[in-house]
């Protein structure tokens, strides 16, 4: 990461609540053409989240604890890490910082840090909803970015386009986008579904297809000025009746196991997306 910090813009996309099995199935079936085009090998990596719900997972992720590879051959080195005596996941390639969290570390390194929130933990409508966005120099949240909106991701991407258009040419950008579209309610993304049908694994999948349809605009905005190092992952999954469980903030395989990818977007690589 030492060659990346300072020379690349940084994008962290948290696909809030996205299950690994759904993401894997859709990519394999060719139903995520825009994401598959940038995923290494066209596939998601199977990882374990550091938290079972949004607040806990993002506190860890923004301290450098990204989802961990779901294989027992660790320890697995981290991309970023706060300086911490005895850490077994910090190595020579790890970008080590001396602040409590990644946004403040990148700000100290000259980055403009921006958060575009989605779910309620980013809404800035109370003390709890202000903690995560408060880590950034600039934060954005509007009702149209939130979970009840059928067009939340389009609205979020439009705000990112505005942010990047206003970015000073010589300053690198770190942007967190918390995507709310996968989180319940998501029934309205499934053609023909009604509120009475409720949220299902199928509507969860349809929400991911909706995100894929518009994510090219996000990649275009973030790679227009300079190369962009992107991390795209879920913060946790959610249950739709497996073993009698529904929702998240529970210790179940479908909650802990998440899709992950990181890759570099070359400058102008998505210049034709609109």
56-91 pLDDT, tens digit each: 999 999 999 999 999 998 889 999 999 988 788 888
Q: Tell me, what CATH number does 251's domain have?
A: 3.40.720.10
Residue 38 domain-assigned?
A: yes
Q: Is residue 273 part of a domain?
A: no
pTM attached to this predicted model:
0.95
3-state SS, one letter per residue, for the chain:
CCCCECCEEEEEEEECCCCHHHHHHHHHCCCCHHHHCCCHHHCCEEEECCCCCHHHHHHHHCCCCCCEECCCCCCCCCCEEECCCCCCCCCCCCEEECCCCHHHHHHHCCCEEEEECCCHHHCCCCCHHHHCHHHCCEEECCHHHCCCCCCHHHHHHHHHHHHHHCCCCCCCEEEEEEECCCCCCCHHHCCCCCHHHCCCHHHHHHHHHHHHHHHHHHHHHHCCCCCEEEEEECCCCCEECHHHCEECCCCCHHHHEEEEEEEEECCCCCCCCC
Which residues constitute the domain of residue 25?
Answer: 9-76+100-265
Is 183 within 8 Å of 119 (Cβ atoms)? yes
Quick one: pLDDT at residue 272? 47
In a domain, 213, yes or no: yes
pLDDT of residue 92: 87
Q: Is residue 151 part of a domain?
A: yes
**Residue 35 has which token pair?**
């994401």
- Reply yes or no on whether the pLDDT at 273 is more than 70: no
Number of Cβ atoms within 10 Å of the Cβ of 264: 14
pLDDT at 263 over 70: yes
> Looking at the domain assignment, is residue 274 inside a domain?
no
For 164-197, what is each residue's pLDDT tens digit? 999 998 999 999 999 999 999 999 999 999 999 9
51 to 54, 55, 235: CA distances (angstroms): 7, 8, 7
d(CA 116, CA 112): 13
| Cα atoms found within 13 Å of the Cα of residue 137, Cβ hemisphere only | 17
User: How many domains would you assign to the chain?
Assistant: 1
In a domain, 161, yes or no: yes
Q: Which pLDDT belongs to residue 82?
A: 92
Q: Residue 101: is its pLDDT beyond 90?
A: yes
What pLDDT is attached to residue 270? Answer: 74
Q: Please report whether residue 90 resides in a domain.
A: no
- Mean pLDDT over the full length of the chain: 95
Any domain includes 251: yes
């Amino acid at each position: 990461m030492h060659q990346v910090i300072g020379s690349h813009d940084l994008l962290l996309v948290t696909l809030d609540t996205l299950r690994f099995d759904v993401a894997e199935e859709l990519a394999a079936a060719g139903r995520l053409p825009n994401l598959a085009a940038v995923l290494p090998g066209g596939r998601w990596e199977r990882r374990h989240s550091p938290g079972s719900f949004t607040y806990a997972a993002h506190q860890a992720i923004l301290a450098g604890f990204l989802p961990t590879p779901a294989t027992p051959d660790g320890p697995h080195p981290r991309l970023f890490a706060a300086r911490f005596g005895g850490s077994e996941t910090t190595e020579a390639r790890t970008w080590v910082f001396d602040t409590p969290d990644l946004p403040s570390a990148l700000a100290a390194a000259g980055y403009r840090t921006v958060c575009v929130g989605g779910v309620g933990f980013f809404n800035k409508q109370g003390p709890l909803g202000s903690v995560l966005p408060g880590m950034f120099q600039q934060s954005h949240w509007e009702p149209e970015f939130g979970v009840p909106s059928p067009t939340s991701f389009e609205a979020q991407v439009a705000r990112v386009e505005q942010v990047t258009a206003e970015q000073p040419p010589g300053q690198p950008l770190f942007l967190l986008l918390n995507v709310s579209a996968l989180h319940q309610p998501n029934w309205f993304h499934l053609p023909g579904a009604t509120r009475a049908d409720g949220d299902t694994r199928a509507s969860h999948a349809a929400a991911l297809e909706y995100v894929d349809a518009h994510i090219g605009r996000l990649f275009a905005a973030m790679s227009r000025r300079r190369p962009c190092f992107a991390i795209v992952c879920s913060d946790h999954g959610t249950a739709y009746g497996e073993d009698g469980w529904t929702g998240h903030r529970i210790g179940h395989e479908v909650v802990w196991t998440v899709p992950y990818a990181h890759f570099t977007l070359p400058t102008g690589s998505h210049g034709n997306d609109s």
